[in-house]
A and B are shown apart, each in its own frame.
Chain A
């Protein structure tokens, strides 16, 4: 499908949704407009609120905090996941011994950890980074582990016959192979880093997008909640676009077909 047509259709869906929302809240089917708007707000109010948040400069600080938490959670989580993924994939015994513990740790719902992290790391950014870390780490860990284990045996045998030692194999074969898996999970793991940050903020903090949404919720300010959610979504889309660009840059060697299918 041509790009222009696709974009028009994509925007169209959004516009129809906003229009329906507007019509149903301004001309309600049952009850008064005031009542309905208390529960659902209206698209114009939400946009207006977003505008004031940005115009007054109030939101920038919160966005920055959330961004920093997301980036830190992602970098530390991905770094840890890569190191441990490699280690476990190369050392059979280690993987076998720790397998049940890793599964148990991964099965734990992260939300229950948030109060503990708040207790350990305080109400600042580090408790949110820790929460994001627990989400990102496992995604990257499992992907790197898989990527290293599933290196094509022929490519590996060939590299060994070309005289590569363990260090060279790591650099020329295992690492690039694992990297494709890391990138295939990058969209998910960046998203989870953000989820960790926002949930952490939501459960206890004094800054960030999650805090803003929580603040609005506690005074039944539905417009404020929707405005926060809208800003959050746009934020996620922007980060995702950045990830796609980085991905395309790093994985130039991949066949174009799979690249086209992804974007």
Chain B
């Protein structure tokens, strides 16, 4: 194992993932090599069906790769990756728990006492701007508010890696910007390694240090790796006006467009 791999927060080596039987199965991704360094914010972009979420699930330990190795801080991942926090695209809060309980339970599972957990959960809900909604059940919250609770639920465990699967996908444009800025400000405090999956190229560039581009499926692979040399701290809305932003966007879009068209012509676009 070379030094880069052993130091990486997430290291995927020649990873392939096949669903169904070995013979007639569908190979979602293959030959994936990806390193995410500690403190690095990596966005993964690709057309629909390119297996972006699949490699995220492999890094989370929710999916076992059919080939290749997944290493987390140098050690092989054999079970769930509990050093990572996962923010799902869909609503993943427990609907039978209040916002406060949803966040507190994430600490209780670590063995923190209930009173401590409740106290710290309250602090976290303040940090994500939900101090007035602690006792609400998820169905009483808006989509954006539910995402804030989910963010607090993940971050309160202080994971070393953040895995995010189109977390702001279902939200409206304004809420996405607000959530993006919230995420960046929380992330800036202690710079965890982040894998952020999105199909929105602008969102990817605005948030990330590096944008990784995936080809259209099946057997999708990584076809581009673009550094984003925009200064931080950034404002999601303002950074889009920068000339550097446009240069990077143009560069990545040239490759992405080809893949998007491929995906469409395969009838996989929606």
Among A130-186, those with CB < 8 Å from B are 154-155, 157-165, 168, 172-173, 176-177, 179-180
B109 near A168: Cβ-Cβ < 8 Å: yes
What residues of chain B lie closer than 8 Å to A158, measured between beta carbons?
Answer: 86, 88, 92-93, 150
New A-B pairs, 9, CB < 8 Å, besides A155-B93, A253-B97: A155-B92, A155-B95, A157-B62, A158-B86, A161-B62, A162-B157, A163-B157, A172-B94, A177-B96
CB of A150, distance to nearest CB on chain B (Å): 13
CB of B96, distance to nearest CB on chain A (Å): 4
> Of B3-11, B25-33, B77-85, B252-260, which stretch is located at the interface?
B77-85
**How many residues of A are in contact with the other chain, CB < 8 A?**
22
Interface residue? A91 (CB, 8 A): no
Interface residue? A57 (CB, 8 A): no
- With contacts A176-B96, A253-B139, A255-B139 known, is A154 near B110, CB below 8 A? no
Pairs across A and B, CB under 8 Å, 24 listed? A155-B94, A157-B62, A157-B86, A157-B88, A157-B92, A158-B88, A158-B93, A160-B62, A161-B62, A161-B80, A161-B82, A162-B105, A162-B106, A162-B153, A162-B154, A164-B109, A165-B109, A168-B108, A168-B109, A172-B94, A172-B105, A176-B96, A253-B98, A253-B139
A176 near B94: Cβ-Cβ < 8 Å: yes
- With contacts A154-B88, A164-B109, A168-B109 known, is A159 near B137, CB below 8 A? no
What residues of chain B lie closer than 8 Å to A165, measured between beta carbons?
Answer: 109
CB of A190, distance to nearest CB on chain B (Å): 22
Q: Which of A157, A161, A172 has the most CB of B within 10 A?
A: A161
Interface, chain B (partner A; CB < 8 A): 60, 62, 80, 82, 84-86, 88, 90-98, 105-106, 108-110, 137-139, 150, 153-154, 157
Report which of A154, A177, A253 forms a contact with B92, defined as CB distance below 8 A: A154
Among A217-263, those with CB < 8 Å from B are 252-255
CB of B31, distance to nearest CB on chain A (Å): 26
Give the distance in Å from the alpha carbon of A125 to the alpha carbon of B85 in the complex. 55
What residues of chain B lie closer than 8 Å to A255, measured between beta carbons?
Answer: 139
Number of A-B pairs, beta carbon distance below 8 Å: 64
Interface, chain A (partner B; CB < 8 A): 154-155, 157-165, 168, 172-173, 176-177, 179-180, 252-255
Give the distance in Å from the alpha carbon of A165 to the alpha carbon of B80 in the complex. 11
What residues of chain B lie closer than 8 Å to A161, measured between beta carbons?
Answer: 60, 62, 80, 82, 84-86
Report which of A162, A179, A254 forms a contact with B139, defined as CB distance below 8 A: A254
What residues of chain A lie closer than 8 Å to B95, measured between beta carbons?
Answer: 155, 253-254
Give the distance in Å from the alpha carbon of A180 to the alpha carbon of B96 in the complex. 10
Give the distance in Å from the alpha carbon of A170 to the alpha carbon of B56 in the complex. 26
Give the distance in Å from the alpha carbon of A210 to the alpha carbon of B87 in the complex. 57
Give the distance in Å from the alpha carbon of A25 to the alpha carbon of B97 in the complex. 57
Chain B residue nearest to A177 (CB atoms) is B96
What residues of chain B lie closer than 8 Å to A252, measured between beta carbons?
Answer: 137
Q: Which of B85, B109, B137 has the most CB of A within 10 A?
A: B109
Can you list the 6 inter-chain pairs with the closest CB atoms, starting with the nearest?
Answer: A158-B92, A176-B96, A253-B137, A161-B86, A255-B139, A163-B109
Give the distance in Å from the alpha carbon of A75 to the alpha carbon of B68 in the complex. 53
What residues of chain A lie closer than 8 Å to B86, measured between beta carbons?
Answer: 157-158, 161
Chain A residue nearest to B139 (CB atoms) is A255
B94 near A163: Cβ-Cβ < 8 Å: no
Give the distance in Å from the alpha carbon of A177 to the alpha carbon of B94 in the complex. 9
CB of A11, distance to nearest CB on chain B (Å): 35
What residues of chain A lie closer than 8 Å to B91, measured between beta carbons?
Answer: 154
What residues of chain B lie closer than 8 Å to A176, measured between beta carbons?
Answer: 94, 96-97
CB of A81, distance to nearest CB on chain B (Å): 20
CB of B102, distance to nearest CB on chain A (Å): 10
Give the distance in Å from the alpha carbon of A176 to the alpha carbon of B138 in the complex. 15
A159 near B80: Cβ-Cβ < 8 Å: no
Chain A residue nearest to B101 (CB atoms) is A172
What residues of chain B lie closer than 8 Å to A168, measured between beta carbons?
Answer: 108-109
What residues of chain A lie closer than 8 Å to B150, measured between beta carbons?
Answer: 158
CB of A257, distance to nearest CB on chain B (Å): 9
Give the distance in Å from the alpha carbon of A252 to the alpha carbon of B154 in the complex. 25
Chain A residue nearest to B89 (CB atoms) is A154
What residues of chain B lie closer than 8 Å to A164, measured between beta carbons?
Answer: 105, 109
CB of B4, distance to nearest CB on chain A (Å): 26
